[in-house]
């Protein structure tokens, strides 16, 4: 009798759909994590998978029940070029994974890329929410400073050299244009971009960001070198001195501003690279997984 009861219980259990069991809080959500400049698809990563742009966050979000893609595009190029590449990749992925709509989440220039997709490439109908992370919605003054230091006659040569370097590093066959990339980050370009890429009604826009407390060479060995330049440029363009090493904090705000992550007591802020846990660089200084789970849960709830 007991054996029959057990068998009956197992049969009843197996008769229910299993897709929702242990799926986690993001059950059924479709998410595209879109990289910024010099980025790449985390399916393969760089250096044989030793370097991941999102530092394992795509896998973590999948473990919480989401469907996640990390589409790749030209490491150095303009926003329209990258947006076209990303849209094609995401559309193909959505069809293959049964996603009618997707939560777009873009880091740095990737935030402008997803905004362009929605505003200018007819992707609004496939978009559930737009979330930008450490993006440059008022520009990155450091780009203005760097481009101003390169004479116009030298720019084509610099572009060729940087493009060749990118092709050697990424080896994906995509077109590269470092000067177009640089110009897309400038304050003047982004001002025009904003005028031509307004938010679409019916879609909620969220933004998150971070900043460094100071140019700490121990925690921020790369961004400590760029922090003073961004600080000076931010003050010059009226964006304030607070920054993540690349983007002024005030430039990171768009739509509904959701703030910055809480770093551990010993951390000196979170920089531009740590914001995505690039090469696992952020997880020792703040709860990266918890932060991105909150980002995804907010997008799901539409708060």
User: Is 164 contained in some domain?
Assistant: yes
Which residues of the chain, if any, have pLDDT below 70? 1-23
Residue 260 lies in a domain: yes
Q: Judge residue 105's burial from the number of C-beta atoms within 10 Å of its C-beta, 0-12 exposed, 13-18 middle, 19 or more buried.
A: buried
**What are the tens digits of pLDDT across the range 206-230?**
999 999 999 999 999 999 999 999 9
- Tell me the per-residue pLDDT of 129-188, one tens digit each, with 9 for 90 and over: 999 999 999 999 999 999 998 888 888 988 888 888 888 888 889 999 999 999 999 999
Whether 25 is covered by a domain: the verdict is: no
Number of domains in the chain: 1
Whether 106 is covered by a domain: the verdict is yes
- Computed over its alpha carbons, how large is the radius of gyration of the chain? 21
Q: What pTM was estimated for this model as a whole?
A: 0.91
CATH number, domain of 128, equals: 3.40.50.1820
Residue 8 forms part of a structural domain: no
pLDDT of residue 5: 42
Asked whether residue 101 is assigned to any structural domain, the reply reads: yes
pLDDT at 113: 98
Cα(53)–Cα(3) distance, rounded to whole angstroms? 52
Range of the domain at 224: 30-301
Residue at 22 is within a domain: no
pLDDT in the model for residue 101: 98
Task: Identify whether 57 is part of a domain.
Answer: yes
pLDDT of residue 164: 86
- pLDDT at residue 105, rounded to an integer: 99
How confident is the model at residue 151, as a pLDDT? 85
What pLDDT shows up at residue 166? 86
> What integer pLDDT is reported at residue 10 of this predicted model?
41
């Amino acid at each position: 009798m007991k054996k029959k009861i057990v068998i009956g219980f197992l049969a009843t259990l197996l008769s229910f759909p299993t897709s929702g069991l242990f799926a986690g809080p993001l059950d059924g959500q479709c998410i595209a994590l879109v990289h910024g400049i010099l980025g790449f698809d985390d399916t393969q990563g760089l250096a044989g998978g030793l370097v991941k742009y999102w530092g394992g966050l795509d896998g973590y979000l999948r473990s919480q029940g989401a469907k996640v893609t990390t589409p790749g595009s030209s490491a150095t190029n303009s926003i329209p070029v990258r947006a076209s590449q990303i849209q094609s990749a995401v559309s193909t992925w959505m069809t293959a994974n049964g996603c009618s709509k997707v939560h777009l989440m873009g880091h740095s220039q990737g935030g402008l890329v997803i905004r362009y997709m929605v505003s200018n490439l007819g992707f609004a109908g496939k978009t559930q929410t737009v979330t930008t992370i450490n993006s440059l919605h008022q520009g990155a003054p450091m780009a203005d400073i760097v481009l101003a230091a390169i004479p116009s006659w030298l720019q084509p040569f610099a572009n060729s050299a940087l493009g060749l370097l990118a092709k050697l590093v990424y080896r994906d066959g995509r077109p590269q244009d470092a000067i177009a990339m640089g110009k897309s980050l400038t304050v003047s370009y982004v001002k025009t971009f904003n005028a031509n890429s307004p938010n679409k009604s019916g879609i909620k826009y969220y933004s998150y960001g971070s900043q460094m407390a100071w140019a700490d060479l121990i925690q921020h060995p790369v961004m400590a070198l760029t922090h003073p330049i961004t600080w000076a440029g931010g003050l010059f363009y009226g964006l304030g001195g607070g920054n993540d090493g690349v983007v002024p904090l005030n430039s990171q705000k768009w739509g509904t501003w959701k703030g910055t992550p809480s770093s551990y007591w010993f951390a000196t802020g979170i920089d531009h690279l740590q914001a995505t846990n690039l090469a696992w660089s952020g997880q020792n200084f703040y709860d990266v997984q918890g932060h991105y789970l909150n980002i995804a849960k907010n997008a799901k709830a539409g708060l």
